[in-house]
Amino acid sequence: MNHPTRAALLVVTFLFIVTACHAQTELPNSPAGNQAKAWLDVFNAGDADKYKEFMRNNFPSNVGNAGRAAEFRELSGGLELKKVEEATDTKLVMLVQQKLSDQFLRVTVEVEAAEPHQITRLSLNGIPRPPDFPVPHLSESELIAAVRKKLDEDVAAGRFAGAAVVAKNGKTIFAQAYGLADREKKTPNTLKTRFRLGSMNKMFTAVATMQLVQSGKLDLKAPFGNYLTDYPNKDVASKVTIEHLLTHTGGTGDIFGPEFDKRRLELKTLRDYVSLYGQRALEFEPGSRWQYSNYGFLLLGVIVEKVSGQSYYDYVRDHIFKPAGMTATASEPEEQTVPERSVGYMRFGPGDWRPNNDTLPYRGTSAGGGYSTVEDLLRFATALQSHKLLNAQYTEMMTTGKVDAGRDKYAYGFQESVNNGMRCFGHGGGAPGMNGELQICPASGYVIAVLANLDPPAASRIGDFITNRLPEK
C-alpha cells in the first residue's frame, strides 16, 4: 500500500507547478538570481542551523519548513544546477537534479522588487527528466558494473538494504542481496529474503480481476454494485465501474488516516474495510480524474472473493502464484511467523533505525502489504509475458496505460512509463520501512526487481537507476 511516508510528505510540500520560458546556462547577477544562488548554496551545504538562519532573514514566512528542507537535503544529496529556464529581476526558474538520483526538479524563486529583495515564493516541483539531459545507455557489462557501484555506495551510506535482480529474456544477469534482514539478530538479507511489497501486489489483484473478465465472469464497464449487491452506499456502487477501480478514477478515496490508525489490528478481512468505509460518499465524479485509491483496490479484492467463491488470498495463491511458480509470495498475518520475512526499518535520524511493526496492518490486502522475493517477482514477470496468467489480448490491455498519472500512465493495476526512450510497465510500493519496484521492459527483454526493508526511496531509486541505463538492444 502506498502509505504516506515522511519522505513522501516532504516531497509533497515542495510540489508546485511553475512555468518554463527561455533558457540560459548560469544564474544571472540579478536580485532573483542572487537569492536563488544563495538559497542553493545554503541548501547544499547541509547545515540545518544555517539554512534556518537564511530562511529567517530572507523568507521568514517559510522558516517553519526548514526541518523538512533539511530532511529533503539528506534524501536528495543536494541539488545540482542544470539550466536556467526563465530569468527576470524578480523571478528565476531553474532546472536542478538531485545528486543522489536521476530525478530532476523545477525550482522557482520570486523576490520583492525593493531591497533587500526578500523571497516571496520558493517552490520545487519534481518533473520527468528533460530530453536535452539524456542518461547514456550502457552496454550490458557496463550496466552491471554501474549497478554494483551504485548499490555499494548506497549500502555504505545507509541508503539501501535489500535485494536486486536484473534479467534479460528470462536469464538473470545480476542478482545480489545487501544489508540486514534483522538488525537485532544480525541476519543478512539474501535472494530468498521475503520483503513486504507495499502497493506492488496491486499487480496481483489486477491479474485476478482480469482473469475473471477474460472468463466472462466480470464486465469492465459494469458498476461494481452489480457484483457487491449489499454494498452500503448505493450511489457509489451504481456509479463506479470495475474499470474505474482498476485505474484509480472512481473517486473511492483511501484507507489511511486516523480511523485506520485506530483500528488497523481490527481490520482482519477485506470485508472489515467495507464495514468501516462503505458508507462514504464519492470524492469526485467517477471517470473525471485520476486519484490514487487504495480503497478501490480493496474493493476489487472483495469482488474477486464474491465472483470466484474463494477468499482473495486463496484465489491469488491458486490462480497466480502457483501457475507462476511463486513459492515465497503471500500475505499471511503479521502475528504469524513467516520464515525469512525481513524486519522493516524506519529512519528517525543518523544511525537511528526502528522497526516498523507499529505501522503495519493485521495482514496485507488486495491493495497492498503482502510479501515476496526478487526471484518470485521475476517468476511473476516471466509468467505474465509468456501468457500463463492471461492471454495476449488481456495482458496487453492490462499493461497499456489508460490515464495520466503524473510522470507515468496508469493502466489496470500497472504503471506504464517510458524511461530514456524505453517502454516499461510494472508497479512500485512504498510505506514506512518498505520499498519495492518491478519494471518489465518487453521490447528489450529486460526485467528489473528491487526490494528493500528501508523507507522509500531505497529501492525505487535503484530501480530507476537501472531502468534509465538499460542497453538499447
pTM comes to: 0.90
The per-residue pLDDT for range 250-289, each reduced to its tens digit, is: 999 999 999 999 999 999 999 999 999 999 999 999 999 9
Q: What is the pLDDT of residue 349?
A: 82
Over range 454-466, report the average pLDDT: 97
3-state SS, 416-445, equals EEEECCEEEEEEEEEECCEEEEEEEECCCC
pLDDT band per the 50, 70, 90 thresholds, residue 15? very low
Which of 230, 221, 455 minimizes the C-alpha distance to 355? 455
The answer to whether the peptide bond before residue 116 is cis (omega within 30 degrees of 0) is: yes
Class of domain 6-127: alpha beta
- In terms of phi and psi (left: phi > 0; alpha: psi -120 to 50; beta: otherwise), the region of 402 is alpha
Q: Which of 29-38, 127-136, 181-190 has the weakest average pLDDT?
A: 127-136
Length of the chain in terms of residues written = 473
Which of 382, 376, 366 minimizes the C-alpha distance to 321? 376
Above 90 in pLDDT, residue 139?
Answer: yes
- Angle, helices 6-13 vs 66-76, to 10°: value is 110
Residue 450: C-alpha distances to residues 78, 176, 220, 380 (Å): 24, 10, 31, 14
What is the spatial distance between Cα 404 and Cα 290, in angstroms, rounded to a whole number?
Answer: 7
Q: How many of the other CB atoms lie within 10 Å of CB of 242?
A: 25
pLDDT band per the 50, 70, 90 thresholds, residue 17? very low
Above 90 in pLDDT, residue 406?
Answer: no
Q: Which fold has domain 136-473?
A: Beta-lactamase (3.40.710)
The per-residue pLDDT for range 223-259, each reduced to its tens digit, is: 999 999 999 999 999 999 999 999 999 999 999 999 9
Above 60 in pLDDT, residue 22?
Answer: no
Torsion, Cα of 368, 371, 376, 382 (10° steps): 0
The per-residue pLDDT for range 325-350, each reduced to its tens digit, is: 999 999 999 999 999 999 999 999 88
Catalytic residue among 199, 308, 331, 417: 199
Name the one residue in this structure whose C-alpha cell is 525505487. 460
Q: Is 199 a catalytic residue?
A: yes
Which of 446, 394, 398, 456 minimizes the C-alpha distance to 424? 446
- What is the full DSSP assignment across 238-298? HH-BHHHHHHT-S----S-SHHHHHHTTT--SHHHHHHHHTTPPPSS-TTS-----HHHHH
Above 90 in pLDDT, residue 424?
Answer: yes
* 420 backbone dihedrals φ, ψ, rounded to 5°: 55, 45
Above 70 in pLDDT, residue 3?
Answer: no
Q: What is the pLDDT of residue 473?
A: 72
Above 80 in pLDDT, residue 315?
Answer: yes
Q: What is the pLDDT of residue 25?
A: 64
Above 70 in pLDDT, residue 1?
Answer: no
The per-residue pLDDT for range 37-66, each reduced to its tens digit, is: 999 999 999 999 999 999 999 999 888 888
The per-residue pLDDT for range 68-125, each reduced to its tens digit, is: 898 899 899 999 999 999 999 999 999 999 999 999 999 999 999 999 999 999 999 9
Above 80 in pLDDT, residue 2?
Answer: no
| Cell output for 342 | 525481513
3-state secondary structure of 343: coil
Q: How many whole angstroms from its chain centre is CA 22?
A: 32
Which of 259, 271, 287 minimizes the C-alpha distance to 232? 271
Q: How many of the other CB atoms lie within 10 Å of CB of 153?
A: 12
The per-residue pLDDT for range 169-215, each reduced to its tens digit, is: 999 999 999 999 999 999 999 999 999 999 999 999 999 999 999 99
> Which 8-state DSSP code applies to residue 183?
T
Above 50 in pLDDT, residue 298?
Answer: yes
**CB 94 within 8 Å of CB 37:** no
Above 70 in pLDDT, residue 4?
Answer: no
What is the spatial distance between Cα 206 and Cα 248, in angstroms, rounded to a whole number?
Answer: 12
Q: Which amino acid, residue 354?
A: R
- What are all long-range contacts of 378-382, with beta carbons under 8 Å and residues at least 24 apart? 378/165, 378/167, 378/172, 378/447, 378/449, 379/324, 379/325, 379/326, 380/203, 380/204, 380/320, 380/324, 380/326, 380/329, 380/438, 381/167, 381/426, 381/438, 381/440, 381/447, 381/449, 382/170, 382/324, 382/447
Q: What is the pLDDT of residue 21?
A: 34
Q: Which amino acid, residue 366?
A: S
Query: Which stretch of DSSP H or E encloses residue 49?
Result: helix 48-58
What is the spatial distance between Cα 106 and Cα 16, in angstroms, rounded to a whole number?
Answer: 9
115-151: burial string, b at 16+ Cβ within 10 Å, e else: eebebeebbbeebebeeeeebebbeeeebeeebeebb
What is the spatial distance between Cα 69 and Cα 122, in angstroms, rounded to a whole number?
Answer: 12
Could you tell me the residue ranges of all domains in the chain?
6-127, 136-473
3-state secondary structure of 307: helix
Mean per-residue pLDDT of the chain: 93
**CB 93 within 8 Å of CB 84:** yes
Please give the share of the chain, as a percent, with pLDDT higher than 90.
88
